[in-house]
Each structure stands twice: as C-alpha cells, then as structure tokens.
Chain A
Amino acid sequence: MRDLSRRQFLAGTTAAAAAATVRAPFAHAQKRGGTMRFIPHADLKVLDPIWTTAYITRNHSYMIYDTLFGTDDKLQIKPQMVDKWGSTDRGMKWSFTLRDGLKWHDGPPVVAEDAVESIKRWTKRDPLGKLLAAHTAKITPVDKKTFALELAQPFGPVLDALGKPSSNVPFIMPARIAATPDTEQIKEFVGSGPFRFVKDEWQPGNQVVYVRNAEYVPRGDTPSGSTGGKKVNLDKVIWRYIPDAATAAAALDAGEIDWWENPPLDFVPRIEKNAALATFVTDPRGTQGWVRPNHLQPPFNNKKARQALLYMVDQPAYLQAAIGQPKFYKTCPALFTCGGPWESAAGAPPKQDLARARQLLKESGYDGRPVVVLDPTDIALTHGAALVTRELMTQIGFNVDLQSMDWSTVVARRAKKDPPAQGGWNLLFTWWIASDVINPAVHAGISGAGASAWFGWPENGEIEKLKTDWVRATDRGRQKQIAEEIQKIAYDEVMYVPFGQWVLPTAFRKNVQGILQFPAPVFWNVSIA
C-alpha cells in the first residue's frame, strides 16, 4: 500500500523467492499460553481498515476481525465465517450462511445484517468492492444467519472479492459500527476475530496490545493463510514499534523481542548466523517494483517516450540497486506477478535495448525539457531505483531533474496533475505486494480510466472494456486469455514499467513456532515453546 506505513515495511528492502525460504516454522507440539513480543513493520496509527489502505491497519484488523472467506497459501479462496454458500441462476444469485459460534467481543452473536453492512461499507472504498457494487442489484439479510447477494450483471470474482487478502480487506464488523460513513473513522473496535484489542494499552508510536479471545470458535480444518482453523495458542500479543533497525536487531538478539516482521536485508545475514534466530519468507510471491510515468504531461503523454522507458529499464540493474541481495529478488515480466494464477510474459520486451530506447525517444519528438523524477530518499528501495533511472535516462537522452524529498511529500506531490514546473511530476517509483496486483480487477496500475485512474492517469478505453470483460467472465480459461490481452496493451501503452519482484524475510527466535505463510503476519497457530 502506498502509504507511509510502507516505509519501514521495506526500509532496508527485501527478499526473494523460495530460495530464501528457511524451513517453515511449523510446530510439532504447540505450547499453549505465553506472551508474544513482536516488532511490526510500522506504527499502528489508524484502526479503521476501510478508511485506510495501510498494511499495518490491515494486519491489526486480522487480529481482531474475521472475514467471510479467506485466502490460503495456494491462493485458493475458502470459507472462514461462512458455513454454507451457493449460487443459482448461472451465478447471478448467491446465498451465504454464517457458521455457528460466531460472537462479537462484546457478547452478541454475529448476524447476517452485520455482514451485509460491512460489505456495503467496504464496497464504497475498495476498487474490487466498487466493481462488485457496480454489478450488484441488491444484497440483503434473509434471516439471522443467511444473506443473499443478487447480481445485476455477471461478476466472476464474487468469492475472490469477499476473500480478498489485502487492503482493503472486507472485514466483518457489527452493523452499528459498519454504518459509519466511509469518510469517517470508526470509533469502536469490536470484532469477532481470534484476538481482542486492548484499547487502554494502545500507545501510538510505542505499543499495541491484544489478548486471546477466549470465546472464539475456530474452524476445524488445517490453518493456511487466512483460511482454516484460527487456533490461538498465545494469551497475549504485544506489538512494540521500534523504528530503528539496529535497535530492533539488538532487541531480538537479546531476547527482548520474539518476532521481527521485516528486518532490512542488511541485517538478514547476521540474523541467519545467530543460532538462536531463524528467518522465514511469509509471502513467497513478494513485491513488485514500478517505474510509473505521468501520462498527462510531456514527454510521457507521448507513447513513444514511454516506450523508450520500457526499453531502457534493465531489471537486474534496478534490483541490484534497490534490493542488493540476489537471493531475495528475481526478474519478472508478468504484470500480474510471477507465481500468480495470471502470470504471463505476453507483451514484455525481450531485454534492455538502449539503442532502441534512444531511437524511440527521438521519434517521440522530445524537446529536451527537464523531466522531473521524484526521489524519496528516505526509502532505500525507491531511492536506489531513482538513481539507476537517472543514469539510464541520461544515457538515452533525457534531461533529468531528480528531485529529492521524503515519502510524505511524494504522496502529496504524486496527486498533482499540474505540469512539473508547477508542482507536478513526470516519473515516480513505487511498489505493491503481489496480492494487490495479482489480477486485472485489483491491479491499480493497469487502468485506462484517465483522471480517475491511479496516479499517472493513463487513458485507454480498450483496457477498461477488457477489465469489465474479465470480471464478467466466469470461465477460468477465458479469464486467462483476457488477462494476457490486458497485459499486452498495458505493455504497449507502457502504463508502468516493472523493475522486478522480491520477497521479504521475517525473523524470529527459534522458540517461536507455527508462523503461517500469508501476506500479513497472523498470530493464530503461532506459539512460544
């Protein structure tokens, strides 16, 4: 999520594919009880998972809320709060029945109305939710435990939407809380999830405390990702926010901390040498890096100038500068991520070709005006990518104006559509975890919606039509075909240039067992020996 919270999430930046995966820390005999001391990637400031897309808020919400469906480690959608579900009328009418034993932390049972109101609020903010809402005729409670969803138009990824693993996740809240307007933060934090939030002990910038929800009834099946039985072994979980990586490493080393979500890669070799510590890649699909041009302003309002960028980018050079350790990264031509169900190399350029890039730039009629490149120097990953970009752009003939700033300034600046000389921009760098770019419905970068597209604002009617076709397709083969068509156009239009994929290891003391693979750190199934 392109939010401040990602700064520490990728502070030193991160990890590669399965090569880096140390053995999965599954427990043979899990001990019950104990307190887990955990260093999250960012400080928890916002508690409303619909109001913000920040990963830290998503992670917090997985502690206290539950979801109707979840995503397992093979990206399969499976029921979580739902017991029975089904569709009729060729997928136009859906029915969902909640399982027994679901209770809110303040006592009352979870009812269908809670789920309906929660979904409604989520569909006002989340892009996939908005798509679902646009295809929905009505969603209503049928009885205390059952609700019905009636589509107005075919919509293939109904279950994918309800089981969406990353921000914004359709967490289920009590109806009275879910009735809060989406522009306002919720003020009560009552969930039905495996942990309870101890608000009185919450100190933004310091600590967040959770205790086991003794009333929680887990499913009976094996836990995997956010699916299966969320069996809680820990009595208490304390998130201690330690912004300085060296301090965090020392605290883990000294045994003051049990689990560190995302150590910067510089620290990983030292951690791996410590016999008391271990590392593990919880999200093997990892993260994708982008070079994003502004399609509204010259020179990148010209397709050939954008294509010059496409042939300019050399993924290994970017990954080396941004990530540094080859075992944590890999090159990847797939815009819908390598390792995902829609992986494809369709439309990708075969390799870097600076001569062709120069030629394309010349053909674009580029007049030598300064190209403003936003360089967030407080994030090692994007700063490295920015420096490589300046070097390569200069080589192919751009006049580069590399502007250094902090990430908060980038976040404000990237929203400006003005010409670069008036506070706008030409090129920026960002990154997304695989779950957020894994298919055409959730991928923010592949949108031709112009002014309402993600920053950079590409306009392309064909892409929009194909995305609609994709969500309306119910056949997997047809979806695959459409996804490839979309990728070809996205590459041809150069909506953005991917500069590779990498993974992030997590680090923990060896007495911690049962960490699951999932994009967010989850604490069910985890125990301290």
Chain B
Amino acid sequence: MLAEVLRRLMATIPVMVVVAIAVFALLHVTPGDPAVIIAGDYATADDIARIRAKLGLDRPFLTQVGIWLSQVVRGDLGTSIFSGLPVSTLIKQRAEATVSLTILAMLISVGVGVPLGIVAAWKKGSWIDRLVMVVAVSGFSMPVFWLGFVLVYVFAISFAWLPVQGYQPLAAGLWPFLRHLILPAVTLSVIYMALVARMTRASMLGVLGEDYIRTAFAKGLPPGRVLVRHALKNASLPVVTIIGIGFALLIGGAVVTESVFALPGLGRLTVDAIVRRDYPVIQGVLLIVSGVYVLINLVIDMLYVVLDPRIRY
C-alpha cells in the first residue's frame, strides 16, 4: 500500500509538469497583454516595450516557460505583476476561505445528501422517495447565485441573523467564523447535496436487492444497522467517487459563491487575475489547484482499497 502511494505520488510529477506547461501555453495564446494594461492610457509604444522587457514578456516562449518552471521547482511561484506581492502570499491569504468553504459545503452535502439517499432508497416508490427526489432535482436545478441572493434576503436582510458578506478566519473565533460561512456553504452545497442524494439512492437500490440484505432483515437486525453497516458500506464506492469529483466541482463552483458573498477566496483571486492577465497569479493558482485535484484522486483511489479489499493496484 505504501509503495503504491509512493508510486502514485511519483506519477503525479509528470502530470503536474504537463499541467504547468499547458496552463502556461494557454495563457500566452489568450488575447490580452498585461504590459498594455499596466502602461495605461498615455503610454507610447516605447513605454509598453520597456514594461514588457521589465516583465520578461519579450523573451521567447520557451525561455519564459523554462524560467517559470525553474522557479516553481525551487518553490517560488513568482510575483504578481500588478500588486508586486509574491503569488504564494496571495494564495495563503485566500486559501483559508476557500478550503473552509469547501470543507463545510462538503460536510453539509454528505451529511444531508447521504441520509436522504438512503431513506429514499429504503422507501422506494413511496411519497418520501418522491419528495426526496423532488428536492434533489430542485436543488440541482437552482442557480447558485440565485439561491445565494434568496438566502441573503431571508437570513441576512429580513431576519438579520447572519451577515450578508465577508469572512472571518477561524482565529477570530468559532462563531464569527461559522456565522460568515453558513450561508455561502449552504448555497454551495445544495447542488452537490442533490447529486450525492441521487447517487446514494441509485447505488443503495442496487445493493438493497441483494440476498445478504434480505438475510440481514430476516435475522431481525434493526433497519438502521442493515442500511448503514451492510448496505451503505457496499454501496459506497460510487458515492466516494462522486465525493472526490465533488471536491473539484466545489472548488470550481466556489468562484460564484465567493463573488455573491464577497469571500476572499481562491476563486475570486483567479478570476481577478484572469481579467487583468496577471500571468504569474493565474499560473500559480492553477498549478496548486490542479495539484490538489491530483491528490484528491489519489486519496479516493486509496479509499477504494480500504472500502473494498478485493481491489488491488
């Protein structure tokens, strides 16, 4: 197992190199030029050329790639063209909000979606099943920004229970931290909750028809124990897969949620950087995020082995 983990970790290196080069290449074929944006309205062609030279943007593409990769290998993600701050500092400033939001949204999604899926499968065809599926389809169909504004209107404006926007780090205290994250996390989790509920239901339905489940019920085991310990464990592989994919979706979906709730997260950092063509920031964030995706996939693969001993790598 450990050898497999190490082997897979080593295998991520070429993946990351390919990702890094692809990101770099894509950015440099995108229209837009940070030197022109920096130079401003009154700049002459010479001014722009001087700024491009200063930023190293006048060098051949392969030279730029080489310089950037050599910096990355040394742990240096570069410096923002605009703010002059190190990209690693900008990522550190933003990572906590995004990670907190993603984890809380995932907890809500799984904490609510999995039980709903189990109950819907157990009560297949009943009004409970239909209700759960109506809720799931509705949740899946609601635009994140719309739901966000509805929640803000109800809970922040009308009742004034929660703040409209902003973020407080965990260091500021648990309640201030949670207060600012509840609405964004609920908003972000709804779609994914629906996905988890549907996937859990479908997976459970396949398992609940098995002989060993019938046997467990026949032995007189309580339904909760049968559903969770016997059925869910065997139905969990597709659910775990979808949770893994979900992390990626949540990080992507966080862009909208972060904008609606003015959360200073990685999503907004990326969008702002793209708008300004702040290449080092975009490259740095995408590299880190793609690295996180690769690691999540690795963890999911390892979980398969834990959940199903028949699986071998």
Contact = CB atoms under 8 A, between A and B. Distances in A.
A204 B83 contact: yes
B164 A254 contact: yes
B222 to A, nearest CB: 47
B144 to A, nearest CB: 12
Contacts of A4: 37, 275-276
Given A4-B275, A43-B272, A203-B93, A412 B32 contact: yes
Given A4-B275, A411-B32, A452-B44, A254 B83 contact: no
A4 B278 CA distance: 12
Interface size class of A (residues with CB under 8 A): 35 or more
A454 B93 contact: no
Majority secondary structure of chain A interface residues (helix, strand, loop or mixed): loop
A313 to B, nearest CB: 22
Interface stretch (A106-114, A181-189, A381-389, A481-489): A181-189
Nearest to A44: B83
A411 B34 CA distance: 9
A53 B275 contact: no
Interface string B77-115: 000101111000010011000000000000000000000
A257 to B, nearest CB: 9
B130 interface: no
A250 B264 contact: no
A451 interface: yes
Contact of A205 (B160, B261, B264): B264
Interface in A223-240: 240
Contacts of A183: 47, 50-51, 54
Given A1-B40, A1-B41, A243-B259, A254 B156 contact: yes
Contacts of B163: 254, 256
A411 B33 CA distance: 8
Nearest to A183: B50
B304 to A, nearest CB: 38
A246 interface: yes
B235 interface: no
B149 interface: yes
Given A243-B259, A243-B262, A405-B31, A411 B268 contact: no
Contacts of A415: 33, 36, 45, 48
Q: Which 7 A-B pairs have the closest CB atoms?
A: A206-B264, A53-B40, A45-B82, A242-B262, A412-B33, A2-B41, A250-B164
Given A205-B268, A247-B164, A250-B152, 17 more contacts: A45-B272, A45-B278, A47-B83, A53-B40, A183-B54, A204-B85, A206-B264, A244-B260, A244-B262, A247-B165, A247-B260, A248-B262, A250-B156, A256-B166, A412-B277, A444-B42, A452-B45
14 contacts: A1-B41, A3-B41, A7-B275, A46-B83, A183-B50, A204-B272, A205-B264, A246-B149, A247-B260, A253-B157, A253-B164, A254-B160, A444-B41, A454-B42
Interface of B: 31-33, 36-38, 40-42, 44-45, 47-48, 50-51, 54, 80, 82-85, 90, 93-94, 149, 152-153, 156-157, 160, 163-166, 259-262, 264, 268-269, 272, 275-278
